[in-house]
Amino acid sequence: LICRALASSAGRPREDSWLKSLFVRKVDPRKDAHSNLLAKRETSSLYKLQIHNVKPECLDTYNKLCQEVLPKIHEEKHYPCALVGTWNTWYGEQDQAVHLWRYEGGYPALNEVMSKLRQNKEFTEFRKERGNMLLSRKNQLLLEFSFWNEPVPREGPNIYELRSYQLRPGTMIEWGNYWARAIRFRQDNNEAVGGFFSQIGQLYMVHHLWAYKDLQTREDIRNAAWHKPGWDELVYYTVPLIQEMESRIMIPLKISPLQ
């Protein structure tokens, strides 16, 4: 009995080690941050995604106020920033505004704009008035994926879809490797607007921005992708990387460069 117990206890560590090897995910050591591996190297643009949940009775007033003030910031030559797009959510969370800004020059540009806006009395009054209309707000700082299109102004009318993915921590490189191939399946109809990943705010977040003429066109384009050899395989491998996902269908405001 003693010999059997000793033999059993001696074998257990090796057995436990073998079992762990089946379930513990092996990660290759990396020598660089995923932001350096995945982001565009030819630009140093930083993006800010703002999501505002507006009091239902205030949405029209909120939109009017934004349409008066935001273009002035966008057009001011001394501010190294640009309004990429501004929308209201049509399907998804209701009474919601989404703004996407680009800061040319990264974090120094962001700091410069914020510093100048604090001295801008009109913007200070705008923020105060806007705050009275909001239920909640959040923002994220984002970088562009190197393999996605640069978001540039486009003519409308279009609807926009913002698909947001909360990835499992540690899977961003894997996601990028798959989507660097997957994006080629979604370029035929010029629907790909931009792809981003979070740096500050909610981490391991990915946002894909698409443009469509209408909801039926969106349905047709998405269904067509499944008839292209290889798309199904890429979806199969990326789905397990996702913890949560959300789709917003959005309508651009009149001032949005993305129409």
Cα separation, 62 vs 134, whole angstroms: 9
- pLDDT band, residue 129 (cuts 50/70/90): very high
Going through the chain in order, the beta strands assigned E by DSSP cover 46-54, 81-91, 96-103, 134-144, 159-167, 192-200, 205-212, 242-252
β pairing state of 81-91 and 242-252:
antiparallel
Residues 6+ apart with CB under 8 A from 167: 175, 204, 205, 206, 241, 242, 243
34 C-beta neighbours (distance < 10 Å), count: 18
Residue 5 has pLDDT above 90, yes or no: no
CATH tag, 45-252: 3.30.70.100
Confidence of residue 37 (pLDDT cuts 50, 70, 90): low
CB within 8 Å of 231: residues ≥ 6 apart: 182, 185, 225
Q: Sort strands 81-91 and 134-144 into parallel, antiparallel or unpaired.
A: unpaired
Query: What confidence category does residue 41 fall into, taking pLDDT thresholds of 50, 70 and 90?
Result: low
Residue 42: band (very low, low, confident or very high) from pLDDT cuts 50, 70, 90:
low
Cα separation, 45 vs 146, whole angstroms: 12
pTM recorded for the entire structure = 0.85
Question: What are the φ/ψ torsions at residue 161 (nearest 5 degrees)?
Answer: -115, 125
Give the pLDDT confidence score for residue 31 in this predicted structure: 53
Longest CA–CA separation in the chain, Å: 86
Which of 237, 248, 249 is CA-nearest to residue 179? Answer: 237
**Higher pLDDT pick, 40 / 141:** 141
SS3 182: helix
Q: Among the listed ranges 32-46, 96-110, 126-140, 221-235, which one has the minimum average pLDDT value?
A: 32-46
Task: For the chain, give every domain's residue range.
Answer: 45-252
Lowest mean pLDDT among 4-8, 126-130, 177-181, 237-241: 4-8
**pLDDT tens for each residue of 51-63:** 999 999 999 999 9
Cβ atoms 142, 219 nearer than 8 A: no
